Structure 1
Amino acid sequence: MAQVFLSLGSNIDRAKHIRAGLDALAKAFGDLNVSTVFESEAVGFEGENFYNLVVGMHTDLPVGQLASRLREIEDANGRVRGGAKFSARTLDIDILTYDDLAGEFDGVKLPRGEIVKNAFVLQPLAELVPARRHPLTGETFAEMWEHYDKDKQKLWPVHFSWP
């Protein structure tokens, strides 16, 4: 079984959609390792703040089938597709890493580029698996977070309980 890390985000009825996403992931994949939930300002557009977190899990689905299953979960939570790339979201679930794969698999580029760009991805990932290494850079996620320019994006932990 592959070890997978996912990024979840929502800025529309945030708590409801994050909980529903976690419930659906747990039902489909079993035990989840869940980071702290962080609130951050919208990136790339003016909008409500997001809740973001990282989830670790195991799956025997290949990358493409996993991506399809994640889209189904997003759609079940009212995700609207076809709009602007940077826009409000009920639920956004992205594959960050799938084992140590690097490259494009079934149309999914791995590892996801947002790991090195966005604090709302890197900080919860570094919290969850600090010693795990980025498949391309070889740095641990803790090292990457330590070197990240923390003035670039503001985020803060929020009280969130699940289940």
Structure 2
Amino acid sequence: MTEVFVSVGSNVDPERNIRRALAELHRRFGRINASTVYQSPAQGFVGDDFLNLAVGFSTEEDVQDIIAQLREVEDLCGRDRDGARFGPRPMDLDLLLFGDLVLESPELRLPRAETLEYAFVLGPLAEIAGDRRHPVTGRSFSEHWESFPAGLKNLEPVEVSG
């Protein structure tokens, strides 16, 4: 079994879309471990705040199957792939880690670079996988979070009902 970690984000009807995505991820992969949901400002464009969290699960499927299923879940939540690269998202599921796989290709980079670049990715990941080590840096995600610039830790925990 491979441990997989995914970033979940939405700023279009975010509570409904996050509930829907989590239910669908659970249906497809079984038990999932979810972080707290956090509200954070949009990055790269002016828009509504996002709700973000990280989830982890174990799978026997290969990395391409996981990516395909994440895209299907995004589509079920109304994702429009013809829109701007940075813009409103009903659902954004980004594969952060697939076990200790290190991969760099035009289609996929693992671990995902954003894992260490944005508070809305690193904070929730450190919450559910703090002891896990980054496959490239060798540092734990808790260590990365502790050294993340305090002024950029702009996360506000929120309750998602239902």
TM bin (shorter chain) = over 0.9
Could you tell me how far 1:161 is from its partner in structure 2?
4.5
How many residue pairs match? The answer is 162
Measured against aligned partners, the alpha-carbon deviations of 1:84-131 in whole angstroms (never above 9, x if no partner) come to 111000000011000000113793210000111000000011111111
Match of 2:150? 150
Measured in 1, the distance between the counterparts of 2:63 and 2:105 equals: 6
Question: Residue type of the partner of 1:149?
Answer: P
Could you tell me how far 1:52 is from its partner in structure 2?
0.2
Measured against aligned partners, the alpha-carbon deviations of 1:14-72 in whole angstroms (never above 9, x if no partner) come to 00000000000000000000100000000000000000000000111111111011101
- How high is the sequence identity, in percent, across the aligned residues? 46
User: Structure 1 residue 121 and structure 2 residue 121: aligned?
Assistant: yes
Measured in 2, the distance between the counterparts of 1:108 and 1:150 equals: 30
User: Structure 1 residue 104 and structure 2 residue 114: aligned?
Assistant: no
TM-score, normalised with respect to structure 2: 0.96
Match of 1:94? 94
Match of 1:15? 15
Superposed CA RMSD in Å reads: 1.4
2:131 aligns to what SS in structure 1?
A: coil
1:136 aligns to what SS in structure 2?
A: coil
5+ residue gaps in structure 2? none
Measured in 1, the distance between the counterparts of 2:40 and 2:140 equals: 23
**1:33-48 correspondence runs (5 A):** 33-48=33-48
Contact 1:64–1:107, Cα closer than 8 Å, also in 2: no
Measured in 2, the distance between the counterparts of 1:59 and 1:106 equals: 24
Question: Residue type of the partner of 2:70?
Answer: L
Contact 1:33–1:55, Cα closer than 8 Å, also in 2: yes
Stretch deviating more after TM superposition (26-35 or 103-112)? 103-112
TM-score, normalised with respect to structure 1: 0.95
